[in-house]
Amino acid sequence: MTNNKNVLNWVDEMVALCKPDKVVWIDGSKEQLEEIRALSVSTGEMVKLNEEKLPGCYIHRTAENDVARVEGRTFICTRNKEDAGPTNNWEDPKVMYEKLGAMFDGVMKGRTMYVIPYCMGPVGSKLSKVGVELTDSTYVVLNMAIMTRMGQAAWDHLGDESNDFVRGLHSKADIDEEKRYIVHFPEDNTIWSINSGYGGNVLLGKKCFALRIASFQGKNEGWMAEHMLILGLENPQGEVKYVTAAFPSACGKTNLAMLIPPEIYQQKGYKVWTVGDDIAWMRIGDDGRLWAINPENGFFGVAPGTNMKSNPNALISTQKDTIFTNVVHNLDENTVWWEGLDKNPPKNALDWKGNKWDPESGVKGAHPNSRFTAPAINCPCISSEFDNPEGVPVTAIVFGGRRAKTAPLVYQARDWEHGVFVGSIMASETTAAATGAVGVVRRDPMAMLPFCGYHMGDYFAHWLEMGKKLGDKAPKIFNVNWFRTDDEGHFIWPGFGDNMRVLEWIINRCDGKADAVETPIGYEPKPEDINLEGLDIDLETLKGLLSVDVDLWKEEAKGIHEFYGKFGDHLPKELAHQLEILEENLNK
């Protein structure tokens, strides 16, 4: 399949370490994948669902101790501790290779090792990269087949000489949570994951490569790997403008990526196209503008709460060739169900643990972090540019979080440097869904806190550097907050499809077609410039949504000082200066 000596030598080394009974090279062919699906069903790893209602779909359960990403067991191992920064867990690479090497020694005896070549991004694109994952899990093989461009095409993209591929080694081992490790060696282009079978820890192309390793590569090679959706907004004249956006979890990222415009916009001919729902790789094109690709080929979405009202496009994406993990298995119909799907829970079902379940049992049937892995091509609003090797040109970058009172509905950064500041102070308030106190401000710069593969202060500096290279061709930067609440805690802004109204103002600002008002924190819309037609919101309410409470922002500034203190002399002086400007503006 490949004559690349760098690959062959590394695979030989890992085979010698893990000692599998058999090695299977994945070519990505339908026949081979069908064999692996049949094998997964025969071992009980997966169950095939109703072929008429959910063609090509399967259900899988992980171990009860293995249901989410584990940040406490996730490491960045750089030779110099300082390079990993204060927001990552660090260990000396020598120590970690030795420790995990002992765990991987002979771990695949009695098992098959699968060699998975995969391409992140369209095959042939200048910005795409190749990874090779070695795993003893058929679940990983079948998910990677959905999430990446997998098989022979990846070897063709890599070529016979290149050493620029990410080496991923994974074993389920004993799914022992005390010995679970997800470890990144950015300087070696290497990821090792052991004792997990959960997607986020074992689909090594996902957060491990596409963000942690790629962010490090991007810094060294002059591009950006970001935790961002990419959407295209088409106006009635047929012009499409592309926006990338970063939000912490539970802030509506997938919903925005697949937004359905309100009726009044649809009638005029507005459309929204999905390029990506989670990750954007961005480079400066030959024309000096910023261009983005989605390195993934599928969606790894949270099931609970996904329904025909909240996100019809996501739900439709799951109706064929999808793997469902940790959801309810409806035995009468051999289909799936989860909380928030509809009001008709099955009476005869198994819960995510495989126990008999019915709606009266008093426990949730699906795990709150249960997932679907669906091919992007299934999405009704997938962009025609999805596979374009050049990517799409980025007009605007949007940051956001969940703030009850502080952040207004939308504001624009004064320039790129101020925009980097706005992204660096991104925060969400904890909701009842999270453990611990409610309303605690959690900083998550650019939504990258768990995913930045190096020192976050240096990451901010890389953003500033990219801005200098882009100059006046840099995208405009905005911040949104769909989550302002009234005194009773009810959301004021309707959100979902109506977020289109804010996107319209953002694009109009980029095109020089909308005015703005200067505030202490940045530029805001004139209330009359947000289209409220068909909404049960008056101009006064909108003014409230756009208000800037100076006292709250003074408190915010104190929190930013404290957060910035973590980064020591790695904090770019430009950001410290932006904080000074904010405080001066608030004191005027």
What is the mean pLDDT of the segment spanning 422-448? 83
Count CB neighbours of 415 within 10 A: 15
Choices 2.170.8.10, 3.40.630.10, 3.30.70.270, 3.20.20.450: CATH for 298-378: 2.170.8.10
- Domain locations in the chain as residue ranges: 5-43+69-222, 226-297+384-587, 298-378
- Give the pLDDT confidence of 544-586 residue by residue, as tens digits: 999 999 999 999 999 999 999 999 999 999 999 999 999 999 9
Q: What is the DSSP string of 299-333?
A: EEEE-TT-STTT-HHHHHHTTSS-EEES-EEETTT
Q: What is the DSSP string of 340-402?
A: TS-S---SSEE-TTS-EE-GGGSS-SS-TT-EEEEEGGG-TTB-TTTT-TT-EEEEEEEEE--
CA dist list (Å): 91 to 79, 166, 202, 306, 542: 9, 20, 20, 38, 50
Specify the CATH number of the domain 226-297+384-587.
3.90.228.20
- On the question of pLDDT at 435 being above 60, the answer is no
Q: Are the C-beta atoms of 174 and 196 separated by less than 8 Å?
A: no
Q: What is the largest CA-CA distance in the chain?
A: 72
Of 480, 553, 476, 563, the residue nearest 520 (C-alpha): 553
What is the mean pLDDT of the segment spanning 73-96? 98
Tokens describing residue 508: 């109009």
Pairing of strands 517-519, 476-480: unpaired
**Which pLDDT value is given to residue 476?**
98
**Which pLDDT value is given to residue 439?**
77
**Which pLDDT value is given to residue 250?**
79
List binding-site positions for Mn(2+): 207, 227, 278
How far out from the chain centre does Cα 7 lie?
A: 28
**Which pLDDT value is given to residue 249?**
82
E strands within 424-568?
427-429, 441-443, 476-480, 517-519, 522-524
Partners of residue 301 on adjacent β-strands? 372
**Yes or no: domain 5-43+69-222 corresponds to CATH 3.40.449.10:** yes
Partners of residue 246 on adjacent β-strands? 399
What is the mean pLDDT of the segment spanning 98-125? 98
What is the rounded CA–CA span in Å between residue 97 and residue 90?
Answer: 13
φ and ψ at residue 191, rounded to 5 degrees:
-130, 130
Mean pLDDT, the chain, as a whole number?
A: 97
**Which pLDDT value is given to residue 434?**
45
Considering only CA atoms, give the Rg of the chain.
24
**Which pLDDT value is given to residue 121?**
98
Tokens describing residue 104: 């991987």
Pairing of strands 112-120, 129-135: antiparallel
What is the rounded CA–CA span in Å between residue 361 and residue 266?
Answer: 43
What is the rounded CA–CA span in Å between residue 342 and residue 353?
Answer: 21
> Which pLDDT band holds residue 436 (cuts at 50, 70, 90)?
low
Starting at the edge strand found earlier in the chain, the sheet holding 323-325 runs 46-48, 58-60, 323-325, 371-375, 298-302
List binding-site positions: 69, 198-200, 207, 227, 249-255, 278, 369-371, 402, 496-499
- On the question of pLDDT at 318 being above 90, the answer is yes
E strands within 445-505?
476-480
Hey, what amino acid is at 121?
G
What is the mean pLDDT of the segment spanning 356-375? 96
What is the rounded CA–CA span in Å between residue 275 and residue 27?
Answer: 26
Question: What residues are labeled active site?
Answer: 251
List binding-site positions for substrate: 69, 198-200, 249, 369-371
Q: Name the DSSP letter for residue 447.
A: G
> Which pLDDT band holds residue 119 (cuts at 50, 70, 90)?
very high
What is the mean pLDDT of the segment spanning 354-374? 96
**Which pLDDT value is given to residue 65?**
96
